[in-house]
Amino acid sequence: MTAEPLAAEHAAARRQGLSVGLATGVYGVSFGALGVAAGLDTWQTVALSLLLFTGGSQFAFVGIMASGGNPITAVATSTLLGIRNGLYGLQLARVLRLRGWRRAAAAQVTIDESTAVALAQDEPEVQATGFWAAGLGVYAFWNLSTLVGAIAGNAMGDPRAWGLDAAAAAAFVALIWPRLRDRTGRITAGLAAAIALISFAPMPAGVPVLLAAIAAVVVGLVTAGPSRARDIEQPEGDLL
């Protein structure tokens, strides 16, 4: 491919990545508000976005904390839910071919959106452009929005007066809803829900969610194969 068409593809990948970053990043406002509603202060909420940076795991963490769960349980659950990003990393390692600190930086922004934008490009060098544009775009806008949401959440006062004490669970349901379109997703959700319901009464807060997450990982390992490899190559547009 000549230099001019390749430059146009790089520019298109950057635009696509930044637009995805802006569209996804604004959801950080809701996480910021939910973080302070769960009892975290503004800077603890911001630190979660800066360091953890995977939407589903962050919402799971604050949801467990809001329900009075043990912090260790919250961390374990959020870690399990972030495993998919490691699978994306295996796929992207062949595309990016990074070493040293660049590899660590890429790991931090390896999420659904950056993977999807990267693998949507045809040329390997353009894939790298799309990956960095989307990954850094989401990271910047998500963290800025988290700060705005946390400040706004503090200004609102008692979260129960606004219904925010139940919003974390609602947000998490919204995140997993698109995954119910295929049979494996429905089986996983059904098994996880059954385990959570059975263990809800006898277990401390947060433990049922952890057990349900483990069930989801087991189902994922059992069903691993060619179809799962295709899912990694073309991830769905989940939030982070």
Tens of pLDDT, residue by residue, the chain (240 residues): 556 678 889 999 999 989 888 888 888 888 898 888 888 899 999 999 999 898 878 888 887 787 777 788 788 778 877 777 887 888 888 888 888 899 999 999 998 889 888 988 888 889 999 999 999 999 999 999 999 989 987 776 555 555 555 555 555 555 556 666 767 667 777 777 777 677 665 655 556 666 666 666 666 666 554 444 444 444 445 556
Answer whether residue 208 is part of any domain.
yes
Structure tokens given for 32 = 């910021």
What DSSP state is assigned to residue 87?
A: H
How many CB atoms within 10 Å of residue 222? Answer: 9
Q: How far is CA 21 from the centre of its chain?
A: 13
Answer whether residue 165 is part of any domain.
yes
Answer whether residue 238 is part of any domain.
no
Mind giving me the DSSP string for 212-233?
Answer: HHHHHHHHHHHT-SHHHHHHHH
Answer whether residue 240 is part of any domain.
no
Q: The dihedral of CA 227, 236, 140, 159: what is its sign?
A: negative
What residues contact residue 204 under an 8 Å CB cut-off, 6+ apart?
69, 70, 73
pLDDT of residue 24: 81
pLDDT of residue 141: 93
Question: What is the tally of structural domains in the chain?
Answer: 1
How many CB atoms within 10 Å of residue 5? Answer: 10
Answer whether residue 133 is part of any domain.
yes
Query: What value, to the nearest 5°, has the Cα angle with vertex 132 and ends 129 and 138?
Result: 135
Answer whether residue 36 is part of any domain.
yes
pLDDT of residue 144: 95
Answer whether residue 100 is part of any domain.
yes
pLDDT of residue 142: 93
What residues contact residue 228 under an 8 Å CB cut-off, 6+ apart?
220
Domain range for 222 is 8-233
Answer whether residue 50 is part of any domain.
yes
